[in-house]
Amino acid sequence: MTIDPFHAHDHAGCISSGLKMAERQCAAEGLQFTPVRRRVLEILLGEHKALGAYDILEVLRAEGLGAQPPVAYRALDFLVSHGLAHRIERLNAFIACMHTGQSHAPAFLICRSCKRVVEADTDPGAGELARAADDAGFTIERTVREALGLCSGCRAGDAAGAPA
């Protein structure tokens, strides 16, 4: 695991290095890293939480970068399809990738109390899904692996409910 947002870290560094990685990748692959796409990634990098498409749209709208849902969805589709962001199925929401460049099979830990999400990089060939697929002769193309629960900080203060 590279960055653990459940604990203290250089957060300004998350944003700037995330943007730099994305610029480099887009240049290398001949992709257009347009202002809207860049800004959406920046918004996602600004939080270690998953943001809904409409949360992002609200920001874009306030900044005059686009007012209609397709603007946000298109930018998110671009980021997700090039591995710069991930969709969290359980939350119908999106989060910046924390492992850009590495080929990975991401898994996510989602804290129900503080809402933060950590991306854990895992071995694509390992795990229960791969074993079950082997047994059934099933060819995996994409996996969704998300755990909900409490991060260590929230468990300390809160065994059941959800404060902020």
Binding region for DNA (CB under 7 A)? 30-32, 34-37, 52-54, 65-71, 73-75, 77-78, 92-93
Convert 25-91 into a string of H (helix), E (strand) and C (coil): HHHHHCCCCCHHHHHHHHHHHCCCECECHHHHHHHHHHCCCCCCHHHHHHHHHHHHHCCCEEEEHHH
Toward DNA, which CB reaches closer, 63 or 134? 63
29 vs 135 by CB, closer to a second copy: 135
Residue 93's binding partner, choosing from a second copy, DNA, none, with beta-carbon cut-off 5 to 8 A by kind? DNA
Are 92 and 52 spatial neighbours (Cβ–Cβ below 8 Å)? yes
Residue numbers 123-162 binding a second copy by CB under 8 A: 123, 126-129, 131-133, 135-152, 155
Q: How many CA atoms lie within 13 A of 106 on its CB side?
A: 23
Q: Which amino acid is at 74?
A: R
CA–CA gap between residue 97 and residue 10 (Å, rounded)? 16
Q: Which stretch binds a second copy (CB under 8 A): 10-18, 51-59, 72-80, 112-120?
A: 112-120
Q: Which of residues 90-109 bind a second copy (CB under 8 A)?
A: 90, 107, 109
Q: By CB under 8 A, name the binding residues for a second copy.
A: 1, 4, 6, 89-90, 107, 109, 111-112, 118, 120, 122-123, 126-129, 131-133, 135-152, 155
